[in-house]
Amino acid sequence: MRWLRHGQVLEPPRLGDWAVSHAAVPLVRQDDTRLEMLFSPRDESGRSHTARGELVLSEDGAELRPANEPVLRPGPLGAFDDSGAMGACLVRRSDREYLYYIGWQRGVTVPFTTFIGCAISTDGGRSFDRVSPAPVLGRSKDDPFLATSPWVLVEEERWRMWYASGVRWTLTAAGPKHEYRIVYAESNDGLAWQPTGHVCIDFASAAEHAIARPCVIRDADRYRMWFSCRGDVYRIGYAESQDGLTWDRDDSSGGLSPSGDGWESTSVEYPCVFDHGGRRLMLYNGNGYGETGIGLATLETH
């Protein structure tokens, strides 16, 4: 597989005091007539909000028309998401849409802790309400440090989640360094989740310390996963599976690396892969975790 890059779709828009920098972690919402992209800008305090915009695709690229108000704001003081509410995955089930998001909380001994929250829309995606003031997946014996970056598929009545779980924090000369990898959980209703502790994507070498933002597609013959992985900088990795549990990682066959001397010269991360109009596309971030905006790539078929 080879990805054909189309450059930036979106530079971080200034939409008010809630969106003054960054455009991180893109995800797509599709219906019969419209394509939307959700993404996360930051406010003046560095807190992530979930924003949206209409996405118009062409043969050579895309145009985004962002809305002026966020889909989801950070939670109240002291809540698991009071330092940021960053959308990660959207699931449509019957007349409901489930927005799974990363709840950020600033730390004292470590810079941050993250949890997984959920907000539901019953009006066709126009508005989302939190299902609870608490996370739907947080710290547990299987995820003692943090849980983040969820991706959810529903297969018959089984809800399946791939997400990043913290392994440890390591104290370095530059400060605490997080270590997390991709694991698996299941649910019967999308709200009560059971972590399994099963590791899907582990560190490829001692140099890697962060594997996050899985994006999973089930094709007719296999599951495919794209994800962020980093040692010094982020790049996009790739793996395949027959059952969604045991994965064969092969970054060189389907991943993406930094390129050029511009917006994606030092890192690429947070992929969202989707099918639209007979094409397979990827939205992703470049340098600075969304500081330089969002790009688009198309999978070449020959």
104 or 156, greater pLDDT: 104
Structure tokens at 59: 């043969």
Measured distance CA(298)–CA(249) in Å, rounded: 21
- pLDDT at position 145 is 97
- pLDDT at position 234 is 94
What is the sign of the dihedral through the CA atoms of 49, 270, 106 and 90? positive
Q: Which residue has the tokens 């959810």?
A: 152
Number of folded domains that form the chain: 1
pLDDT digits (tens, 9 = 90+) for 251-273: 999 999 999 999 999 999 999 99
- pLDDT at position 258 is 95
**Residues of the domain holding 176:** 2-300
- pLDDT at position 188 is 96
- pLDDT at position 62 is 85
Measured distance CA(244)–CA(246) in Å, rounded: 6
pLDDT digits (tens, 9 = 90+) for 15-27: 999 999 999 999 9
Average pLDDT over every residue of 165-191:
96
Measured distance CA(83)–CA(68) in Å, rounded: 21
Helix-, strand-, coil-residue percentages of the chain, each rounded to 5: 0, 60, 40
Beta strands at 234-241 and 158-172: parallel, antiparallel or unpaired? unpaired
pLDDT digits (tens, 9 = 90+) for 203-227: 999 999 999 999 999 999 999 999 9
List the one residue out of 22, 143, 134 whose CA is nearest residue 82. Answer: 134
Average pLDDT over every residue of 185-199:
97
Name 199's Cβ contacts closer than 8 Å, sequence gap at least 6: 181, 182, 183
DSSP state of 11: P
- pLDDT at position 52 is 94
Measured distance CA(280)–CA(274) in Å, rounded: 6
- pLDDT at position 251 is 94
Whether the CB-CB separation of 262 and 287 falls below 8 Å is answered with no
Average per-residue pLDDT in the chain?
A: 95
Average pLDDT over every residue of 81-94:
96
Measured distance CA(110)–CA(118) in Å, rounded: 25
Instruction: CATH number of the domain at 242, please.
Output: 2.115.10.20
Confidence of residue 153 (pLDDT cuts 50, 70, 90): very high
Average pLDDT over every residue of 28-40:
90
- pLDDT at position 302 is 61
